[in-house]
Amino acid sequence: MGDMLSAARERMHRAAKALDLQDELIERLCYPRETLAASIPLRRDDGTLMQLKAWRCRYDSTLGPTKGGIRFHHTVSEDEVSTLAFLMTMKCALMDLPFGGGKGGVKVDATQLSTMERERLARRYVRAFARILSPDRDIPAPDVATGEREMAWMVSEYSDLVGRIEPHAFTGKPVSLGGIVGRTPATGRGGMIALEAMREKLGLGGNQSLTIALQGYGNAGSWFAKAAREAGHKIVAVSDSSGLVRAKGGLPIDRLSQVKEEKGEVSALTGEGISSLKDGAKIVEQECDVLVLAALGGVIGGPEDVEKLGCKAIVEIANRPILPAADDALRQAGIEVVPDILANGGGVVVSHAEWVQGRQGRPWKEHEVETYLEDHISDAADRVRRLMDSHGLDMRTAAHGCALQRLCAGISASGLAKDYADG
């Protein structure tokens, strides 16, 4: 068991202790149900051969088939994949979905691969893990450095392997190949729904416009920014790997998105009242109501990082951007966090809708998807608020507690120690 998974388990144990959940139930959730590792040979365009490490983890299937993305990134490891599968288990339970948690990845720098090489890798990944993939056992989706096109290739390969067309074996596909409308913006829009639902608990009650600093302007971050603007809020600072741009009166989101698409970096945005910094990490120090973390994990690692924060509250759209070592310092500073398993749940909610759509053979309307997304995020937020109030918990512990209550109910349905005791 790696360091990342051990740290993630700390939050589970904290919630279990607060709710007085039985040890034998929590023990079932301490280790992955199944993790497969593979070495994938990738023939490069120049004829050379690469051997790439790859993994697929099915963490827990108590509530249904496992669900989770596949990432192509040079930092991927078995520990990371297992940790993200654990978080997906918690997220699906919190969102009241009939899924368990899964995750997959390949240790590779995807930016160095040609389109043909990416297709070969996507298809090779499916071949390597086909034994556990299926719409009734383990359902992959896009993640870091994968998207609709990779899912199209994977569905094609999987269908060839099993001898039948099964588009619902993967989610996040192009709409023309069985994908669902509204999947692309779902994570970002879901984060905005979660923020609005938890405003009072964040100490930001009322209807006033919020000032927001946003780290990460990929798919989730950019859609969150658009949703925030539609809600009347101001994005006063945005960062990516190129640096940081800021404007006290709010950044022009449409123009920022255009610059990002054309030039690949937010720091290329210029204009009256707009300033920039080369150090994108300074985003956490910007004065704002809400800091939204929508990049990679481990941004706030401990008390020393908490001391730099210029925000009143945080929303985690990325997976595990705040490490457990920073939790106590955040509580002492009075900075509440909308945790990742609540704030970024929109993606898996709409993925479930896509899976259902594939099984039904009936396309969903866009308004149906939007309603489904808002209902699930709002209902989950309501459950978290109630548990915060009834047990005096912080938001992250309450979110994990809500997930554990559902998971433990499913686990205990098969019997506890007392059910097997003699007499």
Evaluate whether 235 touches 290 at the Cβ level (below 8 Å): no
Dist CA 81 CA 78 (whole Å): 5
Amino acid letter for position 157 = E
Instruction: Please state, in angstroms and rounded to a whole number, the distance separating the CA atoms of residues 103 and 33.
Output: 12
Dihedral sign computed on CA atoms, order 56, 62, 65, 66: negative
261: enclosing H helix or E strand: helix 253-263
Distance CA 192, CA 210 (A): 12
127 within 8 A of 40, measured Cβ to Cβ: no
Please spell the DSSP secondary structure of 48-110, one letter per residue. Answer: -EEEEEEEEEEEE-SSSSEEEEEEEETT--HHHHHHHHHHHHHHHHHTT-S-EEEEEEEES-G
Hey, is 359 helix, strand or coil? helix
Q: How many residues does the chain have?
A: 423
- Are the CB atoms for 206 and 391 separated by under 8 Å? no
The residues that are catalytic are 103
Query: Is 253 in contact with 225 (CB distance < 8 Å)?
Result: yes
